[in-house]
């Protein structure tokens, strides 16, 4: 993404703030894994969305006075010894070139700058990005700063940036959609590599190796999220990460995978028989999912309540299962449909967007159409998941380039 993208994102954010507001966002830091080993650093996605900077212990601070907003990014200072061990740090110029922020200071100046700003009497409100999912999570930088402010400056109001950030990230810009298309091409290559290598006796970790290698050859060193790749009975664990199972002749292979390109993640699921040929029961169930997915891509358009999208998919899928004799009444469908049929994607694979119950589909939204069927009695579980872009008049299946029909899948696997 170019710096103009991040500048526009910040301007939209700042326009939502009242005068006399300070906004602070953190890139985060890597947690300790064990002993003196730390997990690889992964920058807060909203921080990256606003700045383009992915360096640990970086801070964005903005102050809005009237209609004018001044922002500063705080970075780790140069340290030749630490950089020898952990890699070079961004220079002031590099940070400005990436983010479009002219004012760059070092991290040790952050608290001083914040205290001076509050001490000036011009600031009344502090906005922070509170994004904790559960109460059990430890306090991150935003929560720690909030506690500091409550103790030292109890007269400062504290508000949450999260609602505004979610609103902005819901609608993708042209550059984000272009990055998504590139991610789709890379993901397609990874899935095709697994399909063409597939055979009875293959281990799940071998499928994963095929996918990872295809991504690495295209410059993507890690997937957008932990890959879900399973065979046979392991398909009945929705989020499965063991990769230790072995595909037996006749097993279905389930994969839920996605590449990340220019910070944009896609999420694609395909299921296929490891031997390359659908048997009768596999064909019956796959056609139910395929018909439901195609139906959704035919009706999705701007103006639909987002909360109804999952319900529509679920009811249509039920009708297919009823037609083949698996379900008699709608109340039985939970035996075969285990998860929702739609979630947004973008800077996160499960993009946390505006409240779903209030959302209406609009051009620029990208979300998954995720049709899963899990029939334990038949030993068959899989999902067909594609990325849907809402357009001005309808929608586009961004992941249609990856084989989805039985005919397409068998044709690819027949070339092994």
Q: Are residues 205 and 154 in the same domain?
A: no
Q: Are residues 159 and 184 in the same domain?
A: no
Q: What are the tens digits of pLDDT across the range 343-395?
A: 999 999 999 876 666 899 999 999 999 999 999 999 999 999 999 999 999 99
Q: Are residues 190 and 110 in the same domain?
A: no
Q: Are residues 333 and 186 in the same domain?
A: yes
Q: What are the tens digits of pLDDT across the range 138-187?
A: 999 999 999 999 999 999 999 999 999 999 999 999 999 999 999 999 99
Q: Are residues 192 and 103 in the same domain?
A: no
Q: Are residues 328 and 300 in the same domain?
A: yes
Binned at pLDDT 50, 70 and 90, residue 77 comes out as very high
* 93/44 Cα distance (integer angstroms): 22
Single out the residue in 168, 191, 221 at which a domain terminates: 168
Q: For residue 70, what is the domain's CATH number?
A: 3.40.350.10
Is the CB of residue 110 less than 8 Å from the CB of residue 118? no
Single out the residue in 168, 199, 220 at which a domain terminates: 168
Cα separation values, 62 from 46, 116, 150, 192, 377, Å:
15, 13, 19, 46, 58
Q: What domain range includes position 91?
A: 3-168
Q: For residue 238, what is the domain's CATH number?
A: 3.90.230.10
Q: What are the tens digits of pLDDT across the range 8-18?
A: 999 999 999 99
* 274/9 Cα distance (integer angstroms): 45
Q: Are residues 208 and 103 in the same domain?
A: no
Q: Are residues 100 and 196 in the same domain?
A: no
Q: Are residues 161 and 196 in the same domain?
A: no
Single out the residue in 109, 136, 168 at which a domain terminates: 168
Q: Are residues 367 and 338 in the same domain?
A: yes
Lookup: tokens for 407: 């005919």
Q: Are residues 215 and 158 in the same domain?
A: no
In this predicted structure, the answer to whether residue 416 has a pLDDT above a threshold of 90 is no
Q: What are the tens digits of pLDDT across the range 263-306?
A: 999 999 999 999 999 999 999 999 999 999 999 999 999 999 99
Q: Are residues 152 and 178 in the same domain?
A: no
Q: What are the tens digits of pLDDT across the range 209-233?
A: 999 999 999 999 999 999 999 999 9
Domain count along the chain: 2
């Amino acid at each position: 993404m170019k710096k103009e993208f991040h500048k526009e994102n910040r301007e939209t954010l700042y326009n939502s703030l009242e005068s006399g507001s300070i906004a602070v966002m953190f890139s985060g830091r890597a947690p300790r894994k064990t002993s003196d080993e730390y997990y690889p650093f992964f920058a807060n996605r909203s921080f990256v969305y606003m700045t383009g900077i992915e360096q640990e212990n970086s801070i964005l601070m903005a102050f809005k006075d009237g209609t004018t907003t001044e922002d500063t990014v705080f970075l780790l200072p140069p340290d030749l010894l630490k950089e020898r061990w952990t890699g070079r740090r961004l220079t002031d110029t590099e940070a400005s070139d990436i983010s479009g922020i002219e004012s760059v200071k070092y991290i040790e100046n952050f608290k001083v700058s914040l205290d001076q700003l509050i001490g000036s009497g011009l600031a009344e409100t502090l906005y922070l990005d509170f994004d904790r999912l559960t109460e059990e999570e430890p306090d991150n930088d935003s929560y720690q700063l909030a506690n500091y402010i409550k103790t030292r400056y109890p007269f400062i109001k504290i508000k949450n940036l999260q609602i505004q950030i979610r609103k902005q990230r819901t609608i993708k810009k042209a550059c984000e959609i272009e990055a998504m298309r590139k991610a789709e091409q890379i993901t397609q290559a990874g899935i095709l590599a697994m399909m063409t290598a597939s055979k009875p006796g293959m281990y799940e970790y071998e499928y994963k190796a095929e996918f990872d290698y295809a991504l690495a050859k295209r410059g993507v060193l890690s997937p957008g999220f932990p890959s879900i790749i399973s065979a046979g009975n392991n398909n009945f664990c929705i989020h499965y990460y063991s990769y230790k199972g072995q595909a037996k002749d006749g097993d279905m292979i389930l994969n839920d995978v996605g590449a990340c390109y220019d910070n944009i993640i896609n999420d694609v699921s395909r299921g296929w028989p490891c031997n390359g040929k659908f048997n009768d029961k596999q064909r019956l169930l796959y056609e139910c999912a395929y018909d439901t997915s195609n139906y959704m891509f035919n009706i999705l358009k701007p103006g639909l309540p987002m909360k109804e999208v999952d319900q529509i998919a679920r009811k249509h899928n039920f009708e297919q299962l009823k037609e083949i004799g698996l379900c008699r009444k709608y109340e039985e469908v939970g035996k075969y449909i285990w998860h929702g049929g739609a979630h947004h994607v973008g800077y996160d694979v499960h993009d946390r967007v505006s409240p779903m119950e209030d959302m209406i589909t609009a051009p620029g939204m990208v979300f998954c159409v995720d049709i899963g069927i899990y029939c334990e009695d038949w030993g068959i579980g899989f999902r067909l998941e594609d990325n849907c872009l809402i357009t001005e008049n309808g929608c586009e299946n961004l992941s249609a380039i990856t084989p989805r029909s039985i005919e397409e899948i068998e044709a690819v696997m027949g070339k092994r």
